[in-house]
Structure 1
Amino acid sequence: MSRPPFLSTPSCTVAVLAAIATLGACTTQGPEMHRTARISVAYIQKQGDQQYFRDEAAGARARASELGVDLDVVDVGTDAARTLDAVRSAAARGANGVVVAVPDPALGPQLVRIAYDARIELLASDDQICADLDDPSVCARQKLVPRVGFSGSRMGEAVGRRAAQEYRTTGWKAADTRIVAAARMDLSVCRERIDAAKLAFLRDGGQVRTLNVSTDNTPDGARSAVASTTAAEAGNPEHWVVWGCNDENVEGGIAALRAAGVAEADVIGVGLGGYLACRGWQHGERFAMRAALSISGREVGALAVQTMYDKVRSGRPFPAEAFAPTAMVDPETWRASGATCD
C-alpha cells in the first residue's frame, strides 16, 4: 500500500496525530475487499439510556440487518476509559470500522491513534472530534474526524427563531424576562447550538438577558443547575424562555421553574430533539414546552452504518460531515410531521 500524503513525516506519532483522512487511507479495506466477506462494525455510544441514543442504536441495528453487517452496539455511559477500551476491544475482535459517539471530545487524538494502529475505519457520530487536539472547536478543518449527525448551527438557529416567534406573541417586556440557555458547555456541539440560538433570538426577538447554565445534559442535572442559577437571579423576572443542547436540558429547566412557582404560561420552552417534548403533547397536554426541533436518532444511526458500509465495502470516501434532516414541531404539528414518540 502506498504511503498517503499525510504520512510524509518519518515520525509515526506525528503521522497519526496529523491524520484525519488517515484512517480510510491506512486501512486494508476498500474496493479490493472480497465482495462476500461480512463487514463487522462497532457502534460505541455515550449515554445509551437516553431516548435519543436508544433510537440511534435501533436505527443502526435496522440498517445493519438490511445490509448484512455484523453490528455490535456498546453503551459506555459517560466513561472515557470505557470508551477507549471498547474501541480497543472492537479492533481486537477484528472489526472493520468503529463509529463513536464520544462522552468527551478530548478523546479524539487517542481514538485516532487506536484506529490508525489497528488499521480500522473511524467515524464520529453526533459529537465532533479532532485528530490532534482535545477541543474540536479549534481544530483545523482537515484534522476533524468525519462525522454523521446534525448541523449544530442550523439546529440552534431554528430553536432561537422559534423562541423569538413565541416571545413576540406574548407581549412580554425584555426587562421582565430572562433566557435560560442550558447545556453541557464543555461540548463544542452544545456551544455551537447555544450560540446559534442566541444570535437568532437577538436578530428576531431583540436583546433579553441570557443566563448560561452549565449542566450534564440530563433532566435531573439541568433541573438542579437551573434551580441554583435562577434562584440567584436579581430583578425578580416574571417570564422565562428556556432552550438548551437537547430536550433533557429544556425539560429539566422547565421543571426547575415549575418547582419555584413559575406558572406554565410564563415559560416558553423550545426543545431540541422532540423525543421528550412529544410525551406531553401526545396526551393532549399544553405546557411550557411550546415547540421542539424534531431530530431522529434512528436516521443518524442508520446513516452512520450506511456511511461506514460504503467506505469499507466499496472504498467510498467518508464525507467530512453528513447531516440527517430536522423539523420544528409543536403540539398541533408533531403527529403530521411523521415524528415518532416512544
Structure 2
Amino acid sequence: MSHSHPGRGLQLRVVASLAGLVLLACGGSGSGSSSSAKKPLLVAIYKSGTQQYFIDQATGFKAQATQLGADTKVYDVALDGNKAVNTVNDAIAAGASGIGITVPDQKIGPAVARAAKDAKIPLVATDDAISDSSGAPVPFVGFDGRDMGTKVGQEAGKELATDGWLKDSSKKVAALVVEAPTVSVIVDRTTAEREQLKKAGMTADQLITVPYSGETDSALQAAGPVLTAHPQITNWVVVGGNDEGVKGTLLALQNAGIKPDNVIGVGLGAYEACKPWAASQPSGFKSALYISGKDVGQAAAKVLYDNVKNNTKLPAKTIAKTTIVNKDNYKQVGVACTQ
C-alpha cells in the first residue's frame, strides 16, 4: 500500500485545481455569492471629525454597523473639499460597500455622487445635503434645518419675553445671528431663527449677521469687531448655525465685558452649551437645541446596511429627532457632556 501510483497524486491535484477554477468562475460571475460571506465595509467621512458632534456621530455609526454585522472605517477630512473627494475614491478602492459623508463643501456633491455611482455603491449625505450633477438630491440623513432654526428662534423669543428686555427702554437689545453663508443647511437654520426673532418683536435692524466657518475660533474672531462697532447695545441675543458659532460669539461677548445675565444664547447641538452647565459656571448659554450626532450615525449605518444587504431602497430623507434643553434638564434628556 505504501507504493502508491506516482501519477495518481498528480491526477488528484489537477482535478482539485480544476474544481477550484470552476468555483472561482461561478463565484466571479455574480460577486454576490463570494461577498455574502464577507462582512460589508461601511465608511463614514466627516468634515470636522474632531468636533464633539461628529465624534458622537462616528460612535453611533460604528456601533450600529457592528451590531448589524458590518465592518467600518471613519475618516476626518477637516474642512478640505479636495481631501474629501480623494477620500471617497480611496474608500471605494479599499472595498467600501456603502459610504456616508458630511461634505466640507456642498459644491463637491456631483463629484462624490459620480464616484459612488460609477462604483455602484450606495451613498448618503449626512448633515449637509448634496446633489448629483443633474441636480437630483443624494439620499439624506440628518436634521431638518428649517425646523431646527425655528425651534432655536422660538426658544430665544421665549427667553426674551420672560426677561422683558424689549419692553424695558433702558435696555438696548440686538441679536447676533452666527451664520456660515455658503452652507445651505446652516442658512436654512439661521433664516428660520431670524423669522422667529422678528415674531418675538425684534426688528430687522436689530438682527446682525456674524459670518463664520462653522468653527468656534472663526466665530470668536468675527464677533469681536461687530461688538466694537455696536458699543451702545447693552443686551445681546445669540443664535447661530451650531453650538460652536454660539460659543465663539459668547467668548467674544465675555472678552468685551458683557455679563452672562445680559446675554441670551441658544445653542444648536447642546454638546458645547452643556459644559458650563456641568461645571456650574455662569454662562450666556441659556438653553440649546439638543441634536444627537449618535442618532444620525446610527440612522446612516442602518439605511446603508439595509441597502447593501437587503437591497432596500435608500429613503430620500431620514430625519433625526431634536429637543430643547437647559441646565436643569439636559442630563435627563440624555446629553452626554464631555468636558
Alignment TM-score, normalising by the size of structure 2 = 0.86
| 307, 312, 315: which one aligns with 2:308 | 312
Q: Are the counterparts in 2 of residues 165 and 205 from structure 1 also a CA contact under 8 Å?
A: no
Matches within 5 A, 1:28-107: 35-107=36-108
Q: Quote the Cα distance in structure 2 between the aligned partners of 1:113 and 1:288.
A: 44
| 1:286-337 per-position Cα deviation (integer Å, ceiling 9, x unaligned) | 3210000011111111110011001111111111111111110001111121
CA 29–333 in structure 1, closer or farther in 2 if over 3 Å, else same: farther
Q: Quote the Cα distance in structure 2 between the aligned partners of 1:202 and 1:318.
A: 38
How far apart are 1:118 and its partner, in Å? Answer: 1.5
Amino acid at match of 1:270: V
Alignment of 1:166 with 2:167, yes or no, is no
Q: Are the counterparts in 2 of residues 286 and 331 from structure 1 also a CA contact under 8 Å?
A: no
CA 217–29 in structure 1, closer or farther in 2 if over 3 Å, else same: farther
Report percent identity of matched pairs.
35
Q: Are the counterparts in 2 of residues 55 and 298 from structure 1 also a CA contact under 8 Å?
A: yes
| 1:139-182 per-position Cα deviation (integer Å, ceiling 9, x unaligned) | 5xxx1111101110110000000000111122213881111011
Alignment of 1:146 with 2:139, yes or no, is yes
**Structure 2 SS opposite 1:103:** coil
Say which structure is richer in helix.
Answer: 2
Amino acid at match of 2:327: P
Unaligned runs of at least 5 residues, structure 1: 1-27, 134-138
Matches within 5 A, 1:1-342: 35-132=36-133, 143-173=136-166, 176-207=172-203, 209-233=206-230, 236-342=232-338
**Structure 2 SS opposite 1:276:** coil
Amino acid at match of 1:226: A
How far apart are 1:341 and its partner, in Å? Answer: 0.9
Q: Quote the Cα distance in structure 2 between the aligned partners of 1:171 and 1:264.
A: 16
| 1:72-93 per-position Cα deviation (integer Å, ceiling 9, x unaligned) | 1011101111111111011112
Which portions of structure 1, spanning 4 or more consecutive aligned residues, are displaced by more than 2 angstroms? 32-37, 204-208, 283-286
Q: Quote the Cα distance in structure 1 between the aligned partners of 2:62 and 2:333.
A: 24
**Structure 2 SS opposite 1:336:** helix
Q: Are the counterparts in 2 of residues 244 and 272 from structure 1 also a CA contact under 8 Å?
A: yes
CA 29–313 in structure 1, closer or farther in 2 if over 3 Å, else same: farther
Alignment TM-score, normalising by the size of structure 1 = 0.85
Aligned to 1:5: none
Q: Quote the Cα distance in structure 1 between the aligned partners of 2:55 and 2:190.
A: 24
**Structure 1 SS opposite 2:236:** strand
> Paired residues, what number?
305
How far apart are 1:34 and its partner, in Å? Answer: 6.2
Unaligned runs of at least 5 residues, structure 2: 1-29
Q: Quote the Cα distance in structure 1 between the aligned partners of 2:279 and 2:115.
A: 47
Q: Quote the Cα distance in structure 1 between the aligned partners of 2:294 and 2:81.
A: 24
Q: Are the counterparts in 2 of residues 155 and 193 from structure 1 also a CA contact under 8 Å?
A: yes
Amino acid at match of 2:96: A
| 1:173-205 per-position Cα deviation (integer Å, ceiling 9, x unaligned) | 388111101121110000000001111222234
Q: Quote the Cα distance in structure 1 between the aligned partners of 2:131 and 2:69.
A: 30
Amino acid at match of 1:339: V
Q: Quote the Cα distance in structure 2 between the aligned partners of 1:282 and 1:199.
A: 31
**Structure 1 SS opposite 2:329:** coil
Q: Are the counterparts in 2 of residues 240 and 268 from structure 1 also a CA contact under 8 Å?
A: yes
Amino acid at match of 1:246: N
How far apart are 1:116 and its partner, in Å? Answer: 1.5
Q: Quote the Cα distance in structure 1 between the aligned partners of 2:199 and 2:86.
A: 45
Aligned to 2:6: none
Amino acid at match of 2:248: G
Q: Quote the Cα distance in structure 2 between the aligned partners of 1:338 and 1:55.
A: 13
